[in-house]
Structure 1
């Protein structure tokens, strides 16, 4: 693990991504300390332009709320949704894909048909409908994004399991009479984690974008400040107060780019042959 982390830090793009991601996590963790007031509180003059008042460096919105405070608290929502929904999707995808790839036969056919069914539905529309049905909240957003995100993971894990099951070390474990559970958890699963980790890092970025889009449309958690809500609330005054949508949009772009840099670095470190082949 330490050697992998060291190689990751030696990768320029991954090092930059990890540094920026650490900064975002730090701001999110320290948001209550940096901005003890409620991000929904009206603390200044409405429509205060950025860089005109040291107390509100990024300005205020139409209600006099601090834009910088909204960005800090919005980072907590975005990271929470991105990480938890991706973890749920990976757990579900690895479980179903592993069963299908290891056992094959009817289990493979049945689970893959379910996976294909989910993949035929537009993911964002499906997530939007689920949030609307479950009522807008951070929990329903996480559940919706997790449910629409697991099929690619299941297909990847299924292919890896099916390939590894025919390898000599797995056949030797079967011949020695080891249980299926032991073979799956100790022999096959560790060898499939590299591509799953790479995919998972990119899924976090996708989940953050999906949450922002859902909040932009007004279906975000009404009790939690989010970047998507900030952009959606400012679209009617974009000509009058450009900063209200510019700064949240810029932060979303930078965070997604940062996570993609980390994902590319993971791909280079964990799959060096594939990375060199892609560059060639």
Structure 2
């Protein structure tokens, strides 16, 4: 274990950060068995006040409860939207890379159409059209995040398509579905796994930005909402915006470190270079 941590310190640090955030999200209903929207006391209580470990906001709501419950929302939206975008990107990328020809051109032009529009502006437009909700936010983030996945999978399939083991499977009469599912896809997954961890970080940032702009789900507490709610009173209660902002930064940092560590671990060349 120590040798593994020594060889992959970024992965170890990132994993510890993410495990801490997950633990906070899981323990939120136990540590704070009340709604984070509930007014619990006087407004603008500073951190360390009786009953308010991290202070209260302008309406007397507990900031610590908001952070704990908001962690669950951020991780849920980040994880589900990333899985959805990975499903779309892997499917279209595999289709383009394996079939090729006009199908490849059509899929890539479709991906370029999404990439010509700034992803955050498109996410704002989609959420505004379908009304702010957990489902619309997840759908919007998934729809703007899949093109890079499709390009990576397509490139991997084009590289693997001419390998001897793939050609041997086709000569033996293995069906196209089995060639794609059992032969090509497992060999194309390592870069997708790394990209997926980074996409979760981007999804957390996007959800926080949408909530900051007032496009979050009004039924769920989120870190972006806390940052936005405290921006107008930051001189009086700096902790209302700063503490959830720090939570966002630390979570995104942990996900990025985890992604970089996975890239080193899954890439044999990088692993050998990092060995002492």
Q: Compute the TM-score of the two structures, normalised by the length of structure 1.
A: 0.94
**Shift in alpha-carbon separation, 1:9–1:127, aligned structure 2, 3 A:** farther
Q: Distance in 2 between matches of 1:186 and 1:8?
A: 32
* Cα deviation code 1:94-149 (max 9, x no counterpart): 00000000010011011110001111010000000000001000110000000000
Matched residue, 2:64? 68
Q: Which secondary structure state, in structure 2, belongs to the residue aligned with residue 50 of structure 1? A: coil
C-alpha displacement at 1:68, in angstroms? 0.2
**1:148 alignment partner in structure 2:** 144
Tell me, yes or no, if the aligned pair for 1:82 and 1:205 is still in contact at 8 Å: yes
Partner Cα separation in structure 1 for residue 106 and residue 54 of structure 2: 53
Displacement over 2 Å in runs of 4+: 6-10, 274-278
What is the CA deviation profile of residues 30-78 of structure 1, one whole-angstrom value per residue up to 9, with x for unaligned ones?
Answer: 111110011000001100011232x211000000000000000000110
SS at match of 1:39: coil
Residue 30 (structure 2) aligned to one of 25, 28, 33 = 33
Q: CA deviation at 1:197?
A: 0.2
Deviation at 1:19, TM superposition (A): 1.3
Q: Deviations over 1:167-190 (max 9, x none)?
A: 000000111111000000000000
Cα distance, 1:8 vs structure 2: 7.1
Give the equivalent residue in structure 1 for 2:267. 271
Q: Say which of 6, 17, 21 aligns to 2:18.
A: 21
1:52 to 44, 49, 53: 49
CA contact (8 A) 1:97 1:156 kept: yes
Which residue in 1 is equivalent to 2:229? 233
How far apart are the structure 2 equivalents of 1:174 and 1:16?
43
Partners in 2 of 1:79 and 1:103 — Cα distance?
35
Quickly say closer, same or farther: Cα 1:276–1:209, change in 2 above 3 A: farther
Unaligned runs of 5+ in 2: none
Decide whether aligned partners of structure 1 residues 259 and 18 sit closer, same or farther in structure 2, where only a CA change above 3 A counts.
same
Aligned match for 1:123, one of 119, 138, 155: 119
**2:225 corresponds to 1:215:** no
Q: Tell me which residue corresponds to 1:96.
A: 92
CA, structure 1 residues 207+21, in 2 after alignment: closer, same or farther (shift >3 Å)?
same
Shift in Å at residue 272 of structure 1?
3.4
How large is the Cα RMSD of the aligned pairs? Answer: 1.8
User: Counterpart in 2 of 1:250?
Assistant: 246
TM-score (norm 2): 0.96
Cα gap change, 1:79 to 1:192, in 2 (>3 Å): same
For residues 189 and 65 of structure 2, the distance between their equivalents in structure 1, rounded to whole angstroms, comes to 37
3-state secondary structure, aligned to 1:30: helix
Describe the shift of the 1:13–1:236 C-alpha distance in structure 2 as closer, same or farther (beyond 3 A).
same
Taking the aligned partners of 1:125 and 1:62, their CA distance within structure 2 comes to 30
Task: Choose which of 169, 175, 180 in structure 1 pairs with 2:176.
Answer: 180
Deviations 1:205-262 (A, max 9, x none): 0000000000000000000000000011111101111000010000000000011111
